[in-house]
Structure 1
Amino acid sequence: MTVLADRSASNSPSAASRRRTGEPRWVRPAVLGLLFATAVLYIWGLGASGWANAFYSAAAQAGGESWKAWFFGSSDPSNAITVDKPPAALWVMGLSVRLFGLSSWSVLVPQALMGVGSVGVLYATVRRVSGPGAGLLAGAVLALTPVAALMFRFNNPDALLVLLLVVAAYGTVRAIEKASPKWLMLAGVAIGFGFLAKMLQAFLVLPGFALAYLIAAPTSLGKRFQHSLAALGAVIVSAGWYIAVVELWPASSRPFIGGSQSNSILELTLGYNGFGRITGDEVGSLGGAQSSGSWARLFGSEMAGGIAWLLPAAALALCALIWLTWRAPRTDATRASAIAWGGWLIITGGVFSFMSGIIHPYYTVALAPAVAALAGMGATRLWRLRSHPIAAGLLSSGIALTALTAYLVLGDWQPWLKYTVLLIGLAGAALILVADRLPVTAARGVATVALVASLAGSGAYTAATAATEHTGAIPAAGPSGSAFGGFGGGMPGGAPGGGQGGFPGGGGRGGGIGSLLTTSTPSEALTSLLRTTSAGYTWAAATVGSNPAASYQLAADVPVMAVGGFNGTDPAPTLAQFQDYVKQGKIHYFIGTGSQMRSSSGSDDAQEIADWVAATFTATTVGGATVYDLTS
């Protein structure tokens, strides 16, 4: 280990970060090629997914029409209720809609550009520590992770969250280099705005980043703690200003906070989108708590196709990097970076594995940057040390693990590919053991074979993901209709809950068109009715659930009230408030629900409203939908 540590020191990250001017000529074209290829992958054919998640597309539409709706993240431009997330991602989409008009492209392209930005910033972060080769490999791994291609071609908040967290990692690495409080505070600001994209999930990276800085920053322990406290202050300010504004804003002049039961963003933060996700105690969710999970959840059939491909190799790389730098100086940047990325991977992966609340496979996109960074750093470091049997053995093991993982995850999809990847991967792993005794050209050929084998499975699955239309509340990586094998044939701890929060198929409150978790195109007759007869009304129509409301609103381009919010379990509006709106002539139509279901958690106001409308007004059928004229 002493020999390995000494040789590792000669490739110290600080030295790599200082060799900017002496980099080979191929670096810049390679980086530009990576970013261009990523852009093509994430943007090509993007419009095929239509509105993707109509829940957020309708909110972007609302933000494009009303600045109040834009600021609060309202579901409709008349500001009945917000989405059940903070609005940072909607701010980007809403501005895009204002600039370019409402279309699937104006809604989805910002996320694709965030993906390109994430790859670029990840390259820059890893490059500072391990050189351009490691940075390029890390960027390629991120770009070719199926769940990344899924979410960077979709309009959920996860795309912005990932970009901001990678920016925070870059700031942390820069801060560690020279004990810079400014860079550390910049990292804190990025994490704070990540909170405004997806609340407490953004904070899962904090322990790893803080530990890396406290261990490795080249200054006294007292100053390291001072800098860390200043960065924590930056997190609190950049995240807390919005919470404070919403809490202090008079409730009567803003929309109801969706996902809460008391019209409180603090409740949303700490409950439904906070600790409730871990414990399963989420008031307003239509699904109950899941049973205890395990680390195997990430390799189950629900999640494996999105993230599992290089997960074992990344774990092996983390252990190798820590071992290689065990005797290095305290300020060793490679070890610090491994701690930062490893903390990100272990804590976020652990929460996803064991949480009992709502979880969906696409959440794992938050693991992709850490997996990519560790794989890039570990592979290049071990390749440099391949003349040592232990380093060669670790690198060979990582390649073999990746090939075996791809074989298992590919399952019944393209059987020829899984066998090809396995055979080439195992061959590459064996050749790695003797690569140091081969001529330079032959050794490079071995590295190429190993790289292709390691990325072929995930690359093919990523291409299939990008070529597949994805709509609705619960997108999944992979080709349409495929059943990826996973490691256990199912996700331990039960299937994930539905939508932004809810239970799959539980459409009792959904009514109109489809369940609460799906949207479909309303008939031309209904769209025309809403569009042409609703001038002068605050809401052209109301219906239970945000997804059905989004379908009508996007099709007719008129405000539609989402009664009860996403799950139909929010007390917004109450029956008395709805009756008052009807009395004042603010709502023209009510589009009926398909069936009845009362929640064991949350409010029943939405069902009471539907019952009152059905008992009070005459039902008509328009384009297959049950419609009540509330003005008759």
Structure 2
Amino acid sequence: MSHIKPPRGPRTPCRACAACDMGRGSMKPRLAALGLLALLYLPALGSSSSGTHPDESYYLGISAEMDARGAWLTPTIDGAAKWFKPPLLYWAERAAYAAFGRGFFGGRLPAALCAIALALLTGALARRMYGEPAELLATLLVGSTFGWVKFGRMAMMDAPMTLAFTAAAYGAWRACEEDRPRQLLWAGLGAGAAFMLKGPVGAVIILLLAGGFVALRRPRLLAGRYTLGAFALGALVGLPWYVASFAVHGRRFYDFFVVEQNLDRFRHPWTLGGEATLLVGLLVFLLPWTLLVLAALPGALRTWREPGSLLPLLWMAVVLAVFTVPSLKWPHYGLGCAPAAALLAARAAPPRWARLGTAALLAALAAGALAVLRWPLAPAAVAAIAPAALAFAAAAALCARGRLAPAAASAGGGLALLLAFAIPAVNPPVIPREALARLAGRDLHVYDYVPGIFTLGAGRPVHRVERAALAPTLAGGGVVILARGALDHLPPELAARLAPVARWEHIPGYLPPAVVARSWLERDPSLLFEPMLAVELRSGAVGAR
């Protein structure tokens, strides 16, 4: 790669210096973008009805328990140390609990603010890379992707970690292309934060991303004082918790975090199916802008020596390659390169086929939203779905005419209406108020679920119980929350002695397409709901079936 020459001669100002100076004319679109992002990520954060993910339930439960115990060093579940991840997100959630109370809003707010920040920072990077017109488009494209509107509203590691990647890319660009080596400290800060969010893999990604770009564009910087400073800053942020955890817990910490949570990821069989999960997941989570990204890739690959192509291509390649190596991977791991994909899509005007194809996808979303109205829904849901359909239709028309930034704003508004308003109007809370009243004063446990979301829904600790401990837990007066279908897998003699304390329904995390189709054809939304029970053990009681 020796043909890639570093810039020579005196430093020239970046071509977006007017935007860098935050002129009056550029503030209005930024403020408008900030307002839209707030509408995308903040409404219904405090509602358990807005959807969740099993990992979120772990993280919420851990942070709530750390907050209740006043603990900062050791993440725990039911008092047992659980080092699934380092604690930076848990610390941020604890700070939000102090400000807003221990609940869903406080637990999810740090991740949502990170999702907003990464969209804005992606736009700032696009301005420096491609000029001021690219800023608003890149901001809205990354902020309105399905993946970020979904996961950026959950207490997950993805948004904070991707913000760290974006900060590192921003610093590497400014250090190399604007001759500001001090900006490499952003890469060090990002590496330390990623190390405290995801573990070693986060720091490795930033090392390869920022270090790789510097090595290709300005290799002399690698031996400079600011590169050393970046490593020192990353170590200062990332290492103290690890050192303290080793000092306090020793082998237990090593076996759980280092071996089980990191090394064991390489001990499962590597499969093409797992790799397809990662790649297809990324394409799905980039919707509705997937075709714009795919259309931008050939041109970027042809001009990969240019820094405006090199940085996003390297970013995407590093994230996907690093998450390809372990045998265990999940679809949302690819979200770490979504800002790079948005940069590519904002780099140049898309070809006509990509524009029209994206318009067709948006029109299909509008039609799908209207089709949902076939179900007899609550008025609040209809009031959100109908304008969401109009927003998708408007986005389709704007995209067909090449007005991509307004199209992204309109599509983002439609997604926000669905995820933040329509779904909570249809999906009951994790524990409805009436059920909570029946469970007051009872020792609560969950079976076959992660307890975190139930803990915040109940406003008090809810413990996890395994199959072998079900009978003793119930015999001790505990109440167990489980899905109605779980009764069929319990020992018949135990199931026959269970009596319901409370009943309710919820929409499960996965719905078979055949069930959804049948429910839609029959206009029967009850088929989409799973019965839930809170049961106790009573001698001689009639079975809960």
The two structures share one fold, judged by TM-score above 0.5: yes
Structure 1 position 58 matched with structure 2 position 61: yes
- Measured in 2, the distance between the counterparts of 1:119 and 1:245 equals 34
- Measured in 1, the distance between the counterparts of 2:130 and 2:62 equals 42
**Paired residue secondary structure (1:72):** coil
Residue aligning to 1:554: 456
Residue aligning to 1:401: 354
- Measured in 1, the distance between the counterparts of 2:455 and 2:399 equals 50
Residue aligning to 1:493: none
Residue aligning to 2:91: 91
- Measured in 2, the distance between the counterparts of 1:198 and 1:222 equals 25
**Paired residue secondary structure (1:102):** coil
**Paired residue secondary structure (2:317):** helix
Report if aligned partners of 1:298, 1:308 keep a CA contact under 8 Å in 2: no
Report if aligned partners of 1:208, 1:339 keep a CA contact under 8 Å in 2: no
Report if aligned partners of 2:158, 2:335 keep a CA contact under 8 Å in 1: yes
Residue aligning to 2:292: 313
Structure 1 position 31 matched with structure 2 position 53: no
**Paired residue secondary structure (1:85):** coil
- Measured in 2, the distance between the counterparts of 1:561 and 1:49 equals 18
Residue aligning to 1:365: 335
Residue aligning to 2:519: none
- Measured in 2, the distance between the counterparts of 1:170 and 1:243 equals 27
Per-residue CA distance 1:389-440 (angstroms, 9 max, x = gap) = xxxxxx352x5224324535875761698898778756x4xxxxxxxxxxxx
1:449-488 matched pairs, under 5 angstroms? 451-452=405-406, 460-461=414-415, 463-469=417-423
**Paired residue secondary structure (1:528):** coil
Residue aligning to 2:345: 375
Q: Which residue identity does 1:243 align to in structure 2? A: Y
Q: 1:102 to 1:345 in 2, by over 3 A?
A: same
1:218-229 matched pairs, under 5 angstroms? 220=220, 223=223, 228=227
Q: 1:402 to 1:344 in 2, by over 3 A?
A: farther
Q: 1:21 to 1:310 in 2, by over 3 A?
A: closer
Per-residue CA distance 1:578-600 (angstroms, 9 max, x = gap) = x9xx9xxxx97474888999xxx
- Measured in 2, the distance between the counterparts of 1:470 and 1:88 equals 29
- How many aligned residue pairs are there? 467
Residue aligning to 1:346: 317
- Measured in 2, the distance between the counterparts of 1:344 and 1:80 equals 37
**Deviation at residue 88 of structure 1 after TM alignment:** 1.5
Residue aligning to 1:71: 73
Residue aligning to 2:41: 42
Report if aligned partners of 1:525, 1:622 keep a CA contact under 8 Å in 2: no
Q: 1:409 to 1:350 in 2, by over 3 A?
A: farther
Residue aligning to 2:175: 175
Residue aligning to 1:118: 118
Per-residue CA distance 1:317-336 (angstroms, 9 max, x = gap) = 4553565585xxxxxxxx33
Q: Which residue identity does 1:156 align to in structure 2? A: M
- Measured in 1, the distance between the counterparts of 2:122 and 2:231 equals 23
Normalized per residue, which structure has more helix? 2
- Measured in 2, the distance between the counterparts of 1:22 and 1:185 equals 21
Q: 1:543 to 1:294 in 2, by over 3 A?
A: closer
- Measured in 2, the distance between the counterparts of 1:414 and 1:13 equals 50
Match of 2:440 among 518, 528, 532: 528
Q: 1:542 to 1:464 in 2, by over 3 A?
A: closer
**Paired residue secondary structure (2:199):** helix
Per-residue CA distance 1:453-475 (angstroms, 9 max, x = gap) = 6776566445533444479xxxx
**Paired residue secondary structure (2:102):** coil
**Deviation at residue 304 of structure 1 after TM alignment:** 4.3
Report if aligned partners of 1:145, 1:307 keep a CA contact under 8 Å in 2: yes
- Measured in 2, the distance between the counterparts of 1:558 and 1:47 equals 16
Report if aligned partners of 2:436, 2:458 keep a CA contact under 8 Å in 1: no
> Pairwise CA RMSD of aligned residues?
4.7
- Measured in 2, the distance between the counterparts of 1:247 and 1:137 equals 45
Report if aligned partners of 1:14, 1:129 keep a CA contact under 8 Å in 2: no
- Measured in 1, the distance between the counterparts of 2:21 and 2:437 equals 67
**Paired residue secondary structure (2:464):** strand
- Measured in 2, the distance between the counterparts of 1:545 and 1:81 equals 20
Q: 1:46 to 1:594 in 2, by over 3 A?
A: closer
1:183-262 matched pairs, under 5 angstroms? 183-202=183-202, 203-217=204-218, 220=220, 223=223, 228=227, 231-232=230-231, 234-250=233-249
Per-residue CA distance 1:13-56 (angstroms, 9 max, x = gap) = 84314445877642112212211221122223433445844433
Q: 1:413 to 1:364 in 2, by over 3 A?
A: farther
Report if aligned partners of 2:278, 2:333 keep a CA contact under 8 Å in 1: no
Q: 1:49 to 1:74 in 2, by over 3 A?
A: same
- Measured in 2, the distance between the counterparts of 1:264 and 1:28 equals 48
Q: 1:22 to 1:421 in 2, by over 3 A?
A: closer
**Deviation at residue 72 of structure 1 after TM alignment:** 2.4
Per-residue CA distance 1:246-273 (angstroms, 9 max, x = gap) = 2221379xxx87xxxx85321244235x
**Paired residue secondary structure (2:86):** coil
- Measured in 1, the distance between the counterparts of 2:316 and 2:463 equals 40
- Measured in 2, the distance between the counterparts of 1:176 and 1:336 equals 9
- Measured in 2, the distance between the counterparts of 1:22 and 1:101 equals 38
Q: 1:24 to 1:543 in 2, by over 3 A?
A: closer
Match of 1:270 among 237, 262, 267: 262
- Measured in 2, the distance between the counterparts of 1:22 and 1:594 equals 57
- Measured in 2, the distance between the counterparts of 1:155 and 1:39 equals 16
Report if aligned partners of 2:88, 2:193 keep a CA contact under 8 Å in 1: yes
Report if aligned partners of 1:123, 1:139 keep a CA contact under 8 Å in 2: yes
- Measured in 1, the distance between the counterparts of 2:293 and 2:481 equals 50
**Deviation at residue 213 of structure 1 after TM alignment:** 1.0
Report if aligned partners of 2:41, 2:112 keep a CA contact under 8 Å in 1: yes
Report if aligned partners of 2:193, 2:238 keep a CA contact under 8 Å in 1: yes
**Deviation at residue 97 of structure 1 after TM alignment:** 0.9
Report if aligned partners of 2:395, 2:407 keep a CA contact under 8 Å in 1: yes
Report if aligned partners of 1:205, 1:348 keep a CA contact under 8 Å in 2: no
Q: 1:453 to 1:413 in 2, by over 3 A?
A: closer
**Deviation at residue 525 of structure 1 after TM alignment:** 6.5
* TM-score between both structures, scaled by the size of structure 2: 0.69
Report if aligned partners of 1:314, 1:375 keep a CA contact under 8 Å in 2: yes
Q: 1:24 to 1:221 in 2, by over 3 A?
A: closer
- Unaligned 5+ segments in structure 1 are 1-8, 282-288, 327-334, 380-394, 429-446, 472-479, 482-517, 531-539, 569-573, 598-606
Report if aligned partners of 1:280, 1:358 keep a CA contact under 8 Å in 2: no
- Measured in 2, the distance between the counterparts of 1:195 and 1:176 equals 24
Per-residue CA distance 1:83-109 (angstroms, 9 max, x = gap) = 622222121111111222123322233
**Paired residue secondary structure (1:135):** helix
Q: 1:39 to 1:296 in 2, by over 3 A?
A: same
Q: 1:347 to 1:625 in 2, by over 3 A?
A: same
**Deviation at residue 142 of structure 1 after TM alignment:** 1.6
Q: Which residue identity does 2:138 align to in structure 1? A: A
Q: 1:468 to 1:268 in 2, by over 3 A?
A: farther
